Amino acid sequence: MPTEILMPALSPTMEEGTLAKWLVKEGDEVASGDILAEIETDKATMEFEAVDEGTIGRILIEEGSEGVKVNTPIAVLLEEGESADDIDSAAPAKEEKPQAEEAPKAAEAETPEAGYGRGATDANDAHTKSDAKAPAAPKDDKGGRIFASPLARRIAADKGLDLTQIEGSGPRGRIVKADVESAQPTAAKADSPTAAKDAAPVTQPAPAGPSSDAVRKMYEDREVEEVKLDGMRKTIAARLTEAKQTVPHFYLRRDIEIDALLSFRSDLNKQLEARGVKLSVNDFIIKACALALQSVPDANAVWAGDRILKLKPSDVAVAVAVAIEGGLFTPVLQDADTKSLSTLSAQMKDLATRARDRKLAPHEYQGGSFAISNLGMFGIDNFDAVINPPHGAILAVGAGVKKPIIGKDGEITAATVMSVTLSVDHRVIDGALGAQLLNAIVENLENPMIMLA
């Protein structure tokens, strides 16, 4: 039978994406591994490969379509000998039949052909493990049909389970065998008004602010340009709102004298010029933070809901914000403490280039325990950065500015001073521990030679 090709989940957090471009058309023959389409997530544009061989019988979602939910059918693959007529004959009925007619045909009507991402379903088990008829599909409180496989309904009936209380993990929320086997019997739902009153109070969501219509109305007599939110901007808005509402930030600030660093960088770049290597101040900052996380390993940690995960010093990851059109990325430099400055520089340039082209793979921008946001190149003296959960901290870096200081001999002199602010998640890192981490970063940057030891 024709097989549905489903919208894939290209990262652990992906819920929807944009089908940016089809690389095949209806009638094309494809083999396993062939590139079918380019799919744009909130972070990157990625290629989607065919899993099976066959012929593209029908494209269901046009290229350029936004907000396509994961597991939504996007195309139909035909096997050898099948035609487009087989797609129409295999398509499930769009309208539900009356329950009296539905029950005898439940097993047949609810058994879709497996699609990419579904794997083997338990529907076929209904014919091999038992010949008993499955109970009729149940209804929810509003009279809507609850989708469950025939085998899942029979197991639920045998175990006395209420399918309205079970969340399905199958395509489109369909309840499958694994869902009912792992479920535990629950107390019957209260039908009386008294029971409803005794139910636990529902936590109300935080105020969301004025609606979009209300905001537009405020500016209806002004000339404005409406900018549609893409997936990246929606994700940034959601993540940063979550961070400021749920992460208890506190801030530590230091001024760093970087004249020794600038001189050391200049000398190194002269020696590396023949190799085509040019180190930036940011490369030194990355190295300094990575080594500091080794020196203060308790600060090399992330918040994991009901626990703290401490990264091992040999597996340090540092994320560096890269501004692109429409948002920013935090590509992750893994094992930054073990890499040379020239290697970090080359890797960062590569990641930044591919980030701007939205070509990063998920493992290149996920993870890490610590982030760096550097706005010094824009002339910003200092700022406070928002922590990117689940990171334990983020370092906001300002510009190096010539300032008068009191020298070691007590005389007034000029120095290049860079202001930094460490934003810290108090659930992960306490004040004293955060101070130790920031002091280690300052020590590395004011004495750059020790980073080569």
- Which positions are catalytic? 426
Tell me if residue 259 falls in helix, strand or coil.
helix
φ and ψ at residue 280, rounded to 5 degrees: -105, 165
Bridge partners, residue 319, by sequence: 332, 371
Distance (Å, whole) CA 110 – CA 90: 12
Bridge partners, residue 106, by sequence: none
As given in the structure block, the two tokens for residue 452 are 């080569």
Distance (Å, whole) CA 403 – CA 395: 22
Question: 64's torsion region: left (phi>0), alpha (psi -120 to 50) or beta?
Answer: left
Bridge partners, residue 372, by sequence: 320, 395
Distance (Å, whole) CA 108 – CA 134: 11
Say how many CA atoms lie within 13 Å of 253 toward its Cβ. Answer: 8
Nearest to 429 by CA among 200, 185, 251, 197: 251
Instruction: Give Cα 107 distance to the centre of its chain.
Output: 37
The Cα diameter of the chain in Å comes to: 95
296 burial (CB, 10 Å; 0-12 / 13-18 / 19+) is buried
Tell me if residue 240 falls in helix, strand or coil.
helix
Distance (Å, whole) CA 15 – CA 52: 24
Nearest to 250 by CA among 422, 444, 46, 416: 422
As given in the structure block, the two tokens for residue 163 are 């399918």
Order of strands across the sheet with 317-320? 249-257, 412-425, 393-406, 370-374, 317-320, 332-334
